[in-house]
């Protein structure tokens, strides 16, 4: 079995932002247990930025806002973080392999295959890949956004069987346990709906970009990759072994879908933020959903937002429901000028399709 384990900044650092060696030692010991049981295991780790704030004169409580300073903190903290993993994995007889990924490593086919090949090579030799986003050179416009999402995409990349998201809470609750004493743990989730996403709320700490909302988004990505996801508390004894074994009560388990989306469409659907919306008529929706057609200008009613060619946009029907997402071949001004037109009415050089079917994803309901 292939297992991807993600652990967040707040679970790996002390209140002062320093790396918590006891937490890393516990994680590495449990990873060793998984490998001893025959499971190939990948770790997706946060905390590089947090670990690098101190040497720059900052802390999590006075975290800088400048992107360059955060990238600098990552460059410093990544060294300390990997040294910590290397030491604690070595004490368990394991070798760590650092892998820093950018979104384009999973977007473009050639880089996708090279990334997968590297991870497979490491796993085949018993090495533990320790993955982080390449924050030191990250493009603010093109990034994973949080390591929960990165972990889900890595799970898809290596055809993982199980994704475990370790956090500071025991899983997903019926309400925010910080505000509602009657909140109870939800042990199994078949489908992520809007109510559940509303309960999840936003980020829970200042140490990282994630939070329960990002974990639900990751679980949704994993579900459409055929990967089972468990959200569990990082300091729970034997949490990894129990999560992989399916022990009841270990956390919240999300069941996978039988249908899998291909990598490119998974990326379009869940990883790219939309820059705008296209409102289409009901005939266009039917053509897209039932006949897998491309979106033509004749079916577009109007547009919202500011976007250029190759940007991601949501597709909305006449009732206001978002039902698809894709990469537009037209910019906003071209939509405004030619929405509702037939192709023979276009000026020369304008693409026939507003969104080609290869760049279009019908969103899972």
| pLDDT tens-digit map of 267-309 | 788 777 789 999 999 999 999 999 999 999 999 999 999 999 9
Nearest to 60 by CA among 232, 213, 211, 209: 209
End-to-end CA distance of the chain: 29
Residues 6+ apart with CB under 8 A from 126: 35, 94, 95
How is residue 117 written in tokens?
């090949």
Residues 6+ apart with CB under 8 A from 178: none
Q: Give pLDDT tens digits for 124-148.
A: 999 999 999 988 877 654 456 689 9
Residues 6+ apart with CB under 8 A from 286: none
Q: Which phi and psi (to 5°) does residue 241 adopt?
A: -60, -40
Helix count (H) and strand count (E) of the chain? 13, 17
Q: Which stretch of 15-24, 163-172, 199-208, 330-339 has the lowest confidence by average pLDDT?
A: 199-208
| Domains of the chain, CATH where assigned | 2-261 (3.40.1160.10), 273-362 (2.30.130.10)
Residue 343 has a pLDDT of 85
> CA-CA distance, 230 to 318, in Å (whole number)?
37
Q: Give pLDDT tens digits for 18-42.
A: 899 999 999 999 999 999 999 999 9
> CA-CA distance, 322 to 365, in Å (whole number)?
10
- pTM for this model (two decimals): 0.82
């Amino acid at each position: 079995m292939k297992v991807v384990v993600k652990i967040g900044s707040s679970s790996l650092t002390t209140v002062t932002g320093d790396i918590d060696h006891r937490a890393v030692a516990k994680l590495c010991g449990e990873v060793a247990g998984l490998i001893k049981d025959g499971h190939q295991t990948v770790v997706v780790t946060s905390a590089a930025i947090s670990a690098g704030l101190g040497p720059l004169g900052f802390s999590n409580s006075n975290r800088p806002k400048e992107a360059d300073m955060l990238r600098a903190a990552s460059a410093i903290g990544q060294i300390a973080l990997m040294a910590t993993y290397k030491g604690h994995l070595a004490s368990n007889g394991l070798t760590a392999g650092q892998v820093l990924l950018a979104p384009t490593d999973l977007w473009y086919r050639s880089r996708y295959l090279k990334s997968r090949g590297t991870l497979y090579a490491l796993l085949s030799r018993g090495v533990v890949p320790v993955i982080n986003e390449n924050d030191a050179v990250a493009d603010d416009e093109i990034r994973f956004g949080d390591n929960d999402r990165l972990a889900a995409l890595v799970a898809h990349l290596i055809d993982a069987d199980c994704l475990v998201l370790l956090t500071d809470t025991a899983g997903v609750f019926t309400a925010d346990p910080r505000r509602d004493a009657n909140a109870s743990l939800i042990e199994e989730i078949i489908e992520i709906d809007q109510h559940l996403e509303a309960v999840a709320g936003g980020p829970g700490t200042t140490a990282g970009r994630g939070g329960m909302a990002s974990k639900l988004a990751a679980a949704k990505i994993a579900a459409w990759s055929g990967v089972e996801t468990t959200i569990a508390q990082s300091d729970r004894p034997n949490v990894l072994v129990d999560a992989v074994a399916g022990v009841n009560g270990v956390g919240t388990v999300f069941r996978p879908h039988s249908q899998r989306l291909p990598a490119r469409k998974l990326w379009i659907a869940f990883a790219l933020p939309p820059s705008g919306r296209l409102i289409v008529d009901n005939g266009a929706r039917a053509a897209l959903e039932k006949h897998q057609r491309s979106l033509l200008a004749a079916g577009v009613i109007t547009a919202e937002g500011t976007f250029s060619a190759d940007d991601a946009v949501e597709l909305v029907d006449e009732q206001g429901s978002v039902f698809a997402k894709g990469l537009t071949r037209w910019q906003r001004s071209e939509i405004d000028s030619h929405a509702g037109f037939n192709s023979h009415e276009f000026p020369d050089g304008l693409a026939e399709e507003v969104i080609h079917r290869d760049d279009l994803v019908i969103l899972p309901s």
